[in-house]
Amino acid sequence: MRGLGISFGVARGVAGAVVLLLLLFVPVLSGTWAETGGGPLLAEFDARPFSVEEKRVLQIGLTVSGSYRGLIDGAWGARSQQAMEAFVAETDADAAATGLVFGYHAAEIGRRAYDFLSQTGLSYRGGPPVAHRLLAPPGSFVPGEHSDWGEFVLEDRDVEIRVFQTAPGLAAILHRVMLDGFPAYAEPYTVRRSGRLVTALDEGGARWYVRSDPDPLRPGAWNTTMVVLQPGGDRRVFEVIVGSLGSDPDADVLGNDARLTGLVRAWLAVGEEDAPAAPEAVTAAVPERGDSGGLHPLRGTGTGFFVNNTDLVTARHVVEDCRAVTLLDGTALSIVAVHPGLDLALLSSPARSRDWIPVHRTGKAALGQPVIALGYPYFGQVNTALNSTLGNVSALVGYHDDPDAITVSAPIQPGNSGGPLLSSDGTVIGVVVAQIAKIEFAEETGSLPENINYAVTGEALLGFLEAEGASLPRLSGEAPDLREGVPDAVQRAVVPVLCEG
């Protein structure tokens, strides 16, 4: 299996030592991921760090996948874990053979749950007239025909939900009437306890579920919720609603969900085919792959940045041998030009960007000047956020005195390739392309190099863009002071670049 850094450019050192430069491009892992042991997607799944809300989402995903039938309460016990293992056995034979569940399984289950919630519009409802808190479809509860029982009804194409507020005797009568109305051959599920009554039927196409509990705020009163599957309705909707029934007034699936939404976002980013949209409420956290995305397996990721509202710059090795190059949302990018000698590529996007980063007017760096490297290292394997690192221009030449490169101390990693190197005024003075291979260098020389990284010079970048006729607009207004942090507009101009193929 390929590692996370691709070796590039074998060259002879001072004493004839072989030194490898590492291109900063992240190849997507292939084969049995369980063998790699790296990144949150590849780590063994452990439910404990996930919030109660996130565990509810996972239980929803397992329910709609057919692996789980139980309470959607965020309590992760043996039943939930067994359902997760059953899902893996059904969908991933390689992982099932190891007996382990991995982060990418949780990501896929979460993706299915978010897609299901988006498609159905289910959201948590509670408070009068709904006594139990539950996931319910859009719509209003309206007074029902049994007003003396405090009945309210919500009807949907998939389910009918009826809620009642009654005395305990009437609640018991309601359950008895339900039993009497079932066919003689039916085998209903029942619970008869002092604090709970449940009557349920799953017979052929008929699905009924009725639950009654004492009202904690009104002594002597009971709350009853009835859920009925409509003819031709989606059984998954019924199962999720029934599983979600509870008394926790704060139950929800949104909020406190950064760990799971980040995992799902990373999973979408590594090229799952035809990934559906996340629900509107979490769209910002889990971006949607567009129709053009996911047509080919994802080979790897790098970084690019807009130099005007349609053109992007990245490293040539990020887009070499790709069958398609896209943005994270699936927007297809066209390769306008690649430089035959420099590690540079110019791309064009059909979607206009409102933000771009100006190239320094001369492109010339000064020895020792502070610089900021922006990029997406190990995208989808460590995180999916834009990363910023600080350093200095430590040499005005690159490896083996390459005049078209500069050496910088700003820490960079695989995935940074193609990212901008910024001066303190926010202009581009270089394009990140490589780092020295520390282990190989140490093996050949006996010493471990630190903070030796390379960027194509701003001067070489300017020459390339001008030769290709790229527009290089200047930003109006006062130049940003990056000592106060990277402005939002600059951040938006730097994007992950995906290589499919």
For residue 119, count CB atoms less than 10 angstroms from its CB and return exposed for 0-12, middle for 13-18, buried for 19 or more. middle
**What distance in Å separates the CA atoms of residue 472 and residue 307, rounded to the nearest whole number?**
6
The answer to whether 95 and 34 are in contact (CB under 8 A) is yes
pLDDT the model gives residue 466: 92
The answer to whether 58 and 116 are in contact (CB under 8 A) is no
pLDDT the model gives residue 288: 33
**What distance in Å separates the CA atoms of residue 381 and residue 248, rounded to the nearest whole number?**
35
**What distance in Å separates the CA atoms of residue 159 and residue 237, rounded to the nearest whole number?**
8
* pLDDT tops 50 at residue 38: no
Residue type (1 letter), 189: Y
Higher-pLDDT residue of 109 and 115 is 109
CA atoms within 13 A on the CB side of 298: 30
pLDDT the model gives residue 49: 93
pLDDT tens per residue across span 308-345: 989 999 999 999 989 899 998 888 999 999 997 899 99
pLDDT the model gives residue 7: 25
pLDDT the model gives residue 297: 65
* pLDDT tops 70 at residue 29: no
- Give me the residue spans of the domains in the chain: 6-22+355-500, 33-120+257-282, 126-239
Backbone angles phi, psi at 166, to 5 degrees: -135, 170
| E strand spans, 285-379 | 298-306, 311-314, 324-326, 332-338, 345-348, 370-375
Query: Per-residue pLDDT averaged across 3-30, rounded?
Result: 38
pLDDT tens per residue across span 81-94: 999 999 999 988 88
pLDDT the model gives residue 328: 85
**What distance in Å separates the CA atoms of residue 415 and residue 5, rounded to the nearest whole number?**
9
pLDDT tens per residue across span 264-288: 888 887 754 333 333 333 222 232 3
Q: Which two tokens stand for residue 393?
A: 């221009």
10 Å Cβ neighbour count for 224? 23
Going by pLDDT thresholds of 50, 70 and 90, the confidence category of residue 107 is very high
**What distance in Å separates the CA atoms of residue 160 and residue 155, rounded to the nearest whole number?**
4
Higher-pLDDT residue of 213 and 60 is 60
pLDDT tens per residue across span 450-494: 788 999 999 999 999 999 998 888 766 677 888 889 999 999 999
Query: Per-residue pLDDT averaged across 79-108, rounded?
Result: 90
**What distance in Å separates the CA atoms of residue 335 and residue 300, rounded to the nearest whole number?**
16
Go through 170-184 and write b for each residue having 16 or more CB atoms within 10 A of its CB, e for each that does not: bbeebbeebeeeeee
Could you tell me which of 146, 147, 198 has the C-alpha nearest to residue 172? 198
**What distance in Å separates the CA atoms of residue 246 and residue 77, rounded to the nearest whole number?**
17
Higher-pLDDT residue of 359 and 12 is 359
pLDDT tens per residue across span 213-247: 888 777 878 889 999 998 888 999 999 999 999 88
Higher-pLDDT residue of 382 and 412 is 412
Q: Which DSSP helix (H) or strand (E) runs through 443?
A: helix 438-445
**What distance in Å separates the CA atoms of residue 203 and residue 188, rounded to the nearest whole number?**
8
pLDDT the model gives residue 447: 62
pLDDT tens per residue across span 446-462: 666 678 899 999 999 99
Could you tell me which of 64, 74, 59 has the C-alpha nearest to residue 237? 64
The answer to whether 419 and 430 are in contact (CB under 8 A) is no
Going by pLDDT thresholds of 50, 70 and 90, the confidence category of residue 181 is confident
* pLDDT tops 80 at residue 353: yes
Could you tell me which of 110, 469, 133 has the C-alpha nearest to residue 266? 110
Higher-pLDDT residue of 214 and 299 is 214
The answer to whether 397 and 405 are in contact (CB under 8 A) is yes
* Cα-based angle 106, 108, 113 (whole degrees, multiple of 5): 95
Could you tell me which of 295, 292, 348 has the C-alpha nearest to residue 501? 295
Could you tell me which of 110, 109, 113, 137 has the C-alpha nearest to residue 123? 137
**What distance in Å separates the CA atoms of residue 467 and residue 53, rounded to the nearest whole number?**
54
Going by pLDDT thresholds of 50, 70 and 90, the confidence category of residue 379 is confident
pLDDT the model gives residue 275: 34
Going by pLDDT thresholds of 50, 70 and 90, the confidence category of residue 293 is very low
pTM for this model (two decimals) = 0.50
Q: Which two tokens stand for residue 210?
A: 């009725």
Class for the domain spanning 6-22+355-500: mainly beta
First-residue to last-residue Cα distance in the chain: 17
The answer to whether 302 and 418 are in contact (CB under 8 A) is yes
- The tokens 């359950």 sit on which residue? 175
Could you tell me which of 23, 24, 34, 47 has the C-alpha nearest to residue 1? 34
Query: Per-residue pLDDT averaged across 26-34, rounded?
Result: 46
The answer to whether 213 and 247 are in contact (CB under 8 A) is yes
Helix, strand, coil share of the chain (percent; to 5): 25, 30, 45
| E strand spans, 369-423 | 370-375, 387-395, 405-408, 420-422
pLDDT the model gives residue 150: 74
Proportion of the chain above pLDDT 90, given as a percent: 42
* Cα-based angle 319, 325, 329 (whole degrees, multiple of 5): 140
**What distance in Å separates the CA atoms of residue 390 and residue 65, rounded to the nearest whole number?**
45
Going by pLDDT thresholds of 50, 70 and 90, the confidence category of residue 13 is very low
Go through 33-72 and write b for each residue having 16 or more CB atoms within 10 A of its CB, e for each that does not: bbebeebbbbeebebeebebbbbbbbbbbbbbbebbebbb
pLDDT the model gives residue 148: 67
pLDDT the model gives residue 408: 95
Going by pLDDT thresholds of 50, 70 and 90, the confidence category of residue 33 is very low
Could you tell me which of 30, 22, 28, 29 has the C-alpha nearest to residue 5? 22
